[in-house]
Structure 1
């Protein structure tokens, strides 16, 4: 199987996060969920991190860990518990658009095609949220957009702070650091540990070692041979899978204008990623989950 088709496994697995969490871990504390999901694969990948990374680059790893995984995953699970999976996934998929707008605010004009893509994406997000059959949980909406915002900053900092560290060791280091931080916060605050049942345990195995661990492994392995544009396109499978899983597992329903809004968001993300890259290669490979 080619690396491209192997990499497709990653967004296929990531897209199930929303419905799987809502179905089998609906009341679990989001801090514990985020910490366990990250820490378990992080421990398994720990041997891949050279000692020099911990000794010389710990500050860089800490910053990237908080933005790309720690804060992002906590906000992600907060949104998942408050919004339909399709809505949460589409809002989180605005990461490339937020990167575009942040760079514009920093003086890097994106060009007319990218600007139009951003405007279409913003319009799609508005349609998705305001056309919901019920009043959306605005805390969930804010959490989803802030999750994308956190990762957008992480993406822009990867080329600078992650320079000189191979992709897989850098990912493993971020998993370990962010997992330890979130778990420590959960223990310090005395948050209730998720109920341990057969279904919850199997769900965490899927969300952690399989979805995050295996997903990141095949994704970063494909980075060595597959063009950035193709991998970015595969990332669009994530929210599509989330919507389909929500319909099948949670009996979710979307209004016609919400379907249109989701289509506009995905179209704008696709257009923005298909245009000539304005970010360094290393910064454009981090997918949203």
Structure 2
């Protein structure tokens, strides 16, 4: 009689599935690449001292545009779920990121954000009931170390408020990502509507808080360009592609793509601000890229011999 146990996917089949995911991974990676521009746009284009206002302009207009385009609203329990996800992924995240970017060098802020894959690896066990994986934790630590090599210099400043904001941003995004994976996307709802729900919910959450920040700043041409870039590319387009990837790819594979953000921030600093990248930084780049690639691969399984032995034991009972 044939064994009722599920057979493991062969190496060729598994590799084929992974290759089929590459276009989706590339599109999803656009989001953290776009987010990596946040640091230089914030410091070079936006008026300082208004992180809540910057987060509001990044979220609410983009969300309303998505809702107007799709004409799709949440139904039933999804009103509450969309609100929770919007607060975690947008409402809390945006001002915390802007606050960290204002109070810390981009490198330090980027390194704190790079802790997110580690948090996701832990939450995947607690929330998604996945098995603990030394592979995911190991590459998450390697990626974090690589980012630190790239962006933290000897003169890095560690402002306590900025550090707390950076860590809170990483935790908020990690929890939002994990819950997005757990709840999925409602049937018949596309990624644009799904992103619109969350951007709008996050913007509505930020609206009353922005009042506490005082009068909005004067917006000149440079600031207008910065807000437009962050709202369109770093908000609407990025989140549509991000949530499409989150709901269709393994959660840990998506999480480790966020390592692109600090790499882009460091690259832009070298390209536009004259910051130099020495051998240590280049080595850090290599480690980060290796972690990103490894994060798209399945954890090494037991050898085929061990699997066949355990299968034969199970069928002989």
Same-fold status (TM-score > 0.5): yes
Deviation at 1:10, TM superposition (A): 3.9
CA deviation string 1:23-54 (max 9, x = no partner): 01151411111111111111111122523x15
What's 1:84 paired with? 105
For residues 40 and 208 of structure 1, the distance between their equivalents in structure 2, rounded to whole angstroms, comes to 7
For residues 156 and 267 of structure 2, the distance between their equivalents in structure 1, rounded to whole angstroms, comes to 20
What's 2:239 paired with? 216
Within the candidate set 62, 65, 70, 1:44 is matched to 65
What's 1:272 paired with? 295
For residues 227 and 209 of structure 1, the distance between their equivalents in structure 2, rounded to whole angstroms, comes to 26
User: Rg larger in 1 or in 2?
Assistant: 2
Say whether residues 1:158 and 2:149 are aligned partners. no
Unaligned runs of 5+ in 2: 1-22, 301-317
The secondary structure found in structure 2 opposite 1:132 is coil
Deviation at 1:13, TM superposition (A): 2.7
Unaligned runs of 5+ in 1: 278-289
CA deviation string 1:40-88 (max 9, x = no partner): 111111122523x155421111111111111111111111112222332
Within the candidate set 22, 38, 43, 1:17 is matched to 38
Describe the shift of the 1:274–1:90 C-alpha distance in structure 2 as closer, same or farther (beyond 3 A). Answer: farther
What's 1:244 paired with? 267
For residues 102 and 227 of structure 1, the distance between their equivalents in structure 2, rounded to whole angstroms, comes to 13
Say whether residues 1:63 and 2:84 are aligned partners. yes
Describe the shift of the 1:159–1:9 C-alpha distance in structure 2 as closer, same or farther (beyond 3 A). Answer: closer
Cα RMSD (Å): 3.6
TM-score normalised by structure 2 residue count: 0.71
Within the candidate set 28, 44, 48, 1:27 is matched to 48
Highest RCO, 1 vs 2 (Cα 8 Å, sep ≥ 6): 1
Describe the shift of the 1:266–1:88 C-alpha distance in structure 2 as closer, same or farther (beyond 3 A). Answer: farther
